[in-house]
Structure 1
């Protein structure tokens, strides 16, 4: 298991992200979720930890991030065909560093609910997903629902 990346190509900003996400406990939580999901851990780009073959049914996304841990459901071949997906997940890792780690989980859940109420999709109006790049994450932006007025 890789907890701290010592690889030569990790830029300073990514090393800072590693430290902050470890200290705010989001990376340990991500590692715990990975253990529960029976993943194989390995090195990812920019100091990320990849948890391959995530097996739990939730969330249904092909990949998701907790701290510096990217939990991936798709195989390495499919992941290689989608390099923007890892860039998207890396942006989420940075968001964990900015938004106090586990607090990010609560904020993300609330903004997903808000997006779902507005569009029927948890990502379309979620500011975390929009900042990480909807298309890079494999999302299609949905329009805001038209609300029908209740007739008396």
Structure 2
């Protein structure tokens, strides 16, 4: 295993994010197996939240799907989240990610499109869309008042 993966694994155990991920996997009755780069893959997660095809807590990558789902670009995306846990010193990643999801939802109407953690992990690799912020979207024709000055002869406010 490469040195950076060993460092990430050690940091995520020390900062308690991987032990939490293992507890979440156990609570969700997921089957765990060793994965690449020091990750732990947890298949068959059964709890209803979070709503995602896959999610990561520390070095543990969880999915409701069976073996073979966590491959290629999606696994690389989730591995980047494991590195984010190490960089954020573990558990502070959870509220920081939640806040970033709320900001993204307010900016674009989607929880991931402008979430800094998802963008750094690779939106497309995670299966997320790129969306412009709400203020940059064109308004459909025929809705709302026409732009420009108001009716003639009215007093300004």
Whole-angstrom CA distance in 2 between matches of 1:27 and 1:46: 14
Shift of 1:146: 2.6
Aligned-partner SS, 2:45: coil
Aligned residue pairs: how many?
138
| 2:134 matched residue in structure 1 | 145
Bigger CA drift: 19-28 or 139-148?
139-148
Q: 1:19 aligned to 10, 15, 20, which one?
A: 10
Shift of 1:59: 1.1
Q: 1:28 aligned to 9, 19, 23, which one?
A: 19
Shift of 1:97: 0.2
Aligned-partner SS, 1:117: helix
| 1:118 matched residue in structure 2 | 107
Alignment of 1:2-151 (within 5 A): 10-80=1-71, 83-146=72-135
Higher helix content, 1 or 2: 1
Between structure 1 and structure 2, the one with the greater Rg is 2
- Please list every run of 5 or more consecutive structure 2 residues that lacks an aligned counterpart in the other structure: 140-156
Whole-angstrom CA distance in 1 between matches of 2:21 and 2:70: 19
Evaluate the alpha carbon distance shift between residue 77 and residue 50 of structure 1 in structure 2; reply closer, same or farther with a 3 A threshold.
closer
Give the root-mean-square deviation of aligned CA atoms: 1.6
Shift of 1:31: 0.6
Aligned-partner SS, 1:76: coil
- Please list every run of 5 or more consecutive structure 1 residues that lacks an aligned counterpart in the other structure: 1-9
TM-score, length-normalised on structure 2? 0.84
List per-residue Cα deviations over 1:57-113 (Å, max 9, x = no partner): 111111000000000122224434xx1000000000000000010000010000000
Evaluate the alpha carbon distance shift between residue 23 and residue 79 of structure 1 in structure 2; reply closer, same or farther with a 3 A threshold.
closer
